Structure 1
């Protein structure tokens, strides 16, 4: 039997519905059937029960639903319950923050966290900013970010100016958008780590933490190394995945998602976010200005 380890689980169940209509998202305004919602709830409750039953590993959990999870009561309940478990070091979720925030008062603020995305045009600016201030008053760890489209720049600048100084504002490069150096410099002034997002990274053959200390789990409990590699490592609930854990190189040509390339070992992002990888919070706010990207970029 292998020794206990720090294991990060990226969980993505059947949920694919969202209350927003972002033009750059394929899941905009998608509605799940009643049957799919029931299946998603049952799958999440099974996963929460697995974590609560106890494991020799120290767990960190990041929920990465295709849709918006926190508008569903079972995701809010799961975050509260998991945050209180002694074997769970961190539990976080990617969210558009359209939900209410008062339920977080029941969670353990030492372990719960939110990875929040601001979508201009989908929610009033003051409403989103107000929710950020509510999280701050509650003592919840969170990051805030947006997609780096030209029409989002002024709103992002305003958000940076009005958020508490210590809150990290991240910027994701827009899929398919080619940034000039001048455009990239404007976004880098807001997020000193933006250069890592600007272009997909060549990752083939590079060592990656996925499949070793990080795994992806779907609603059936199927374990894969990450969301972007379909090869199965086993099942979470029968423990068959455990024998497959170990160091392995990335089999994909490029990695374009922050949740993926932050785990590629030659990049420094894992160390930069020490203690905050799951919620995308650097240990220190990165300085604005040029960044040297140490592995090849594709594009």
Structure 2
């Protein structure tokens, strides 16, 4: 079986204070951190036993995972398993990077988000350059707020052409055509993120070849549909895997709509769906003048 897994354990603590994030500067207790570690180690042990499957794993923690040793260890261990085709994690890149020396870089990838105001631009850029020098497969991106545009442009200009810079539409924000054009100048794929998708009844790979797993092993079709399909560790989820339409009115998150069969994104991101790297990095368009910051 070819199976893509989006894993999200109980970790909810983050070292950043982004005003648009409900988990900013949240601290997990020692007990919560131990529970998260145990859950992740259980998942990693399960993956090691799935020698008859081909797995792709994306960690999407609410908090920042790579500042925790058990996430670095899990990615390293999973990257060396022959049945794991790709293992990736969403990260703010605040962690150290020397741990990557022990990882299998043919399998591991990072989805890195730059948060202006939370970390100095030069520090983040230095981390990106370090990843590039190490040969670590990675994408880099920002959330499309007007106040982020100038630094996003600086970052795009400083990154190697082959490193894809993506832009996420800010949740709940409506983009006028002129503003959307400026973000599209940076990320020609931004139009896919610009507006939520009316997904009700549309065919989606989630629940068939893509699943979401939480720290207890509860399997759902995706992070955004609460209905359980069974449990990962007793194998009960397998009987529930089948093609099924989306039950939600809209889908507005990349890790959800990328799996819609009505969109061409599996071709666009062929080989890089989990880490958000297109098969061909689209050329940047000429930049339009900056909008005044409100």
TM-score (norm 1): 0.94
- Quick one: distance in 2 between partners of 1:230 and 1:237? 18
**1:66 match: secondary structure:** coil
Q: Structure 1: where are the runs of 5+ without partners?
A: 290-299
Equivalents in 1 of 2:265, 2:151: separation in Å?
26
Structure 1 residue aligned with 2:65:
69
- 2-structure distance, mates of 1:288, 1:252: 34
For each residue in 1:4-59, what CA deviation from the matched residue of structure 2 results, as whole angstroms up to 9, or x when unmatched?
x2110000000000000000101000000111100000000000000112342100
Whole-angstrom CA distance in 2 between matches of 1:286 and 1:158: 18
Matches within 5 A, 1:1-299: 5-288=1-284
Q: For residue 117 of structure 2, give the secondary structure of its aligned residue in structure 1.
A: coil
Q: Match of 1:293?
A: none
Q: What is the SS of the residue equivalent to 2:277?
A: coil
TM-score, length basis structure 2:
0.96
Distance in 1 of aligned mates of 2:95 and 2:214: 24
What secondary structure sits across from 2:226 in the alignment? strand
CA positional deviation for 1:175: 1.1
SS at structure 2 position matched to 1:229? coil
Q: Distance in 2 between matches of 1:261 and 1:288?
A: 23
Query: Alpha-carbon deviation of 1:134?
Result: 0.5
2-side partners of 1:6 and 1:138: how far apart? 29
Which runs of 4 or more aligned residues in structure 1 lie more than 6 Å from their structure 2 counterparts after TM superposition? none
Deviation by residue 1:173-205 (Cα, 9 ceiling, x = unmatched): 011211110000000000011011111000000
C-alpha separation between the residues in 2 aligned to 1:218 and 1:54? 18
After alignment, is 5-14 or 52-61 more displaced? 52-61
Change in Cα spacing, 1:120 to 1:25, as seen in structure 2 (3 Å) is: same
Q: Alignment partner of 1:56: what SS?
A: coil
- Aligned equivalent of 1:292: none
Q: How many residues align?
A: 285
1:249-283 Cα deviation digits (max 9, x unpaired): 00000000000000001111121000100100000
